[in-house]
Amino acid sequence: MECGFSPQLHSNRPILARTCPGASPRTRTWTSFLASPCLKTGSQIHLPHSSLKICNGAACKAVTSAPFVETTEATELDWDNIGFGLVPTDYMYVMKCSSDGIFTNGELKKFGPVELNPSAGVLNYGQGLFEGLKAYRKEDGSILLFRPEENAKRMIDGASRMCMPAPTVEQFVDAVKMTVVANNRWVPPTGKGSLYVRPLLMGSGAVLGLAPAPEYTFLIFVSPVGNYFKEGLAPINLIVEDEYHRATPGGTGGVKTIGNYASVLKAQKIAKEKGYSDVLYLDAVHNKYLEEVSSCNIFVVKGNVISTPEIKGTILPGITRKSIIDVARSQGFQVEERAVPVEELLDADEVFCTGTAVVVSPVGSITYLGKRVEYGNRGVGVVSQQLYSALTSLQMGLAEDHMGWTVQLN
């Protein structure tokens, strides 16, 4: 038997809440987001602290949650000019893990400050990871997530490297779904952007000596976003960095740990002051092979061949990177994952970046050792446009998902 719907009343307003077979008439429960008619425009859901449940088919499991009131009342955002910056939303998700290594009792809380002990592992020793994924509004009003299980797996891999426990794939995906649905009204209209989802895993327990933290917190917050680069789907200008390095063999460049990003800020700041969009890094051993941009993977196009640096521990295994490789191969391109010498940039037909935030970002020019190389008259390349259109059509539900990558919430 499946969970059914029954009308309930709260504050004299009609709402819809889920009830499960065997539950008392007063128990109100909530779907695990596979479908959600209760999220129709103008509706509200009120779920008391003691009775929030996740329902999936016949299985209903209780989760702890603060009182939750979800509303789809319109926001006052200018969807055409939201950019890529934090917009405070309604709810965030928090789940903790003690020394037993098991995460339990996740809950939705009002978005706001997080209290940490000054001796928390994340503050003193940088024991933290983060992920990034997006939710898109389809034309019919429903919401799509793109490959959330891949983010969950990457967090698990990163947690192992950082000596941290991690939520299971099921816990991660359910928490993402819960957070997105709770912030439903902040998902931009189709074609106006997306809801950026930021899961965090951090050592929140107090520790003075260098050691793994005794407690961990998994947190998710969201924000509606537009384009990451101010150029949008327009060519960006990169400079090859030959002094600073993003990662070294044996380090943490291949996991999404917080420290990887603080270390690129200086080179990025210098580059932006000179008018460049971002920095392209080289390997730390030979200083000649492409690695990645500050927060994006890099691809080089020559004829029908698309080349990208291989994953070997110093490069983040991007989920958009992985998806673009599969899409490109399905469209007849030959994709090579290998060491790519920086000199190949000088003779490329196109260059583009990929990442959750940018999706696909064409490169208009790259400057290396004072020499500037431009691509396609500094316009959007044919291959970049083709792959961008193919992937975003999948993500936004505009094309049939033959890959099985999207998850529909309501």
Residues labelled catalytic: 256
Select from 394, 247, 255, 238 the least CA-distant residue to 317: 255
Angstrom distance (rounded) from CA 351 to CA 366: 9
Tokens of 210: 């260098």
Residue type, 85: G
Angstrom distance (rounded) from CA 334 to CA 306: 6
Angstrom distance (rounded) from CA 179 to CA 404: 22
Burial class of residue 395, CB neighbours in 10 A (0-12, 13-18, 19+): buried
Q: At 34, give phi and psi (nearest 5°).
A: -70, -30
Task: Mark residue 83 as left, alpha or beta (left: phi above 0; alpha: psi -120 to 50; beta: remaining).
Answer: left
Burial class of residue 216, CB neighbours in 10 A (0-12, 13-18, 19+): buried
Identify the bridge partners of residue 124 per DSSP, sorted by sequence position. none
Q: At 378, give phi and psi (nearest 5°).
A: 60, 25
Select from 17, 23, 108 the least CA-distant residue to 63: 108
CB 47 within 8 A of CB 30: yes
Select from 30, 318, 29 the least CA-distant residue to 146: 318
